[in-house]
Amino acid sequence: MMRTMILMGVATLALAGCLPKKDKAAENAATPESTQTETQALAPSAQNAVTFHCGSVVVRAAFDGQDKAVMMVGDQTYHLQSVVSASGAKYETAAGTAPAAMLWNKGDAAMANIPGHGELNCQAQGAKMGTPASMNPVPAQASLVQNTEWQVKMINDAAPVGDRPLTVRFDDQGRISGFSGCNRFTGAYDLNGDTLAIKADMAMTRMACLSDDAAQQETAFTQVLASMTQLQAQADGSLIMRNAQGQQIVLHVPPMQ
């Protein structure tokens, strides 16, 4: 009897040794190529990640500047997509995805809903709350920037003068347009992440300005506008455009009266 049991055990071990082992490469190949590419493209790294401190929880996030983000918390990765929000840039996991996660980025500040941690208030690493100049670069999401008429709030440190607001509009076909104080303008732009390029050959109407101040402001505004190279979101939902010389234009959407 004992001899029989020993022989059966040996046979079992031998059979187990013949079973095919799982091929790690095959497992990786089973992952959709598009998902692998997307993860690699947006994987938070030292170069493209924004780090948020949410109490004792550290969140790293990477944005594609369009409508996707990747949020990493510890060894967990959450793929998020943009949703409409009143201000800032809000990202959530797709409807029906479990566990659900959310990151609502407002420049220096953010709010995160992290599985296992709940809803947390966050602060961008190295940022000082309420100091726009110190905020970490956060790309202004194209889907939220486009097809909105933004009013010019500040040109460098000065508010525009005149009875009619200066405006800027980015459409979803690569066209920029607006009102510069006396005339309307139109041109082309490119937005890739927070990198902005406005083509220099903007067209303008030829209406005469009613005052020298208006004419000087229009010339200064259009020249600075054409030189903008960066577009970033602010905590209050406004946008800041900057050029290589540090000049800036602040855009906002005034509250409805």
% of the chain exceeding 70 in pLDDT: 69
b/e map 120-129, b = 16+ CB within 10 Å: bebbbeebee
Handedness of CA 121, 124, 130, 132 (dihedral sign): negative
The tokens for 91 are 């990202």
Is residue 18 classed as helix, strand or coil in its secondary structure?
helix
pLDDT, tens only, 89-132: 788 999 888 889 999 876 667 889 999 988 888 887 754 333 33
pTM of the model: 0.50
The whole-angstrom separation of Cα 19 and Cα 165 is 75
The amino acid at 240: I
Is residue 204 classed as helix, strand or coil in its secondary structure?
strand
Q: Which fold has domain 38-131?
A: Lipocalin (2.40.128)
State the pLDDT confidence band at 85, using cuts at 50, 70 and 90: low
Terminal C-alpha separation, the chain: 93
Output the pLDDT for position 83: 82
DSSP state of 64: -
Structural contact between residues 237 and 87, judged by C-beta atoms closer than 8 angstroms: yes
Q: Which fold has domain 142-252?
A: Lipocalin (2.40.128)
Mean pLDDT of 231-255: 87
Highest mean pLDDT among 30-39, 52-61, 62-71, 144-153: 144-153
State the pLDDT confidence band at 64, using cuts at 50, 70 and 90: low
Domains of the chain by residue range: 38-131, 142-252
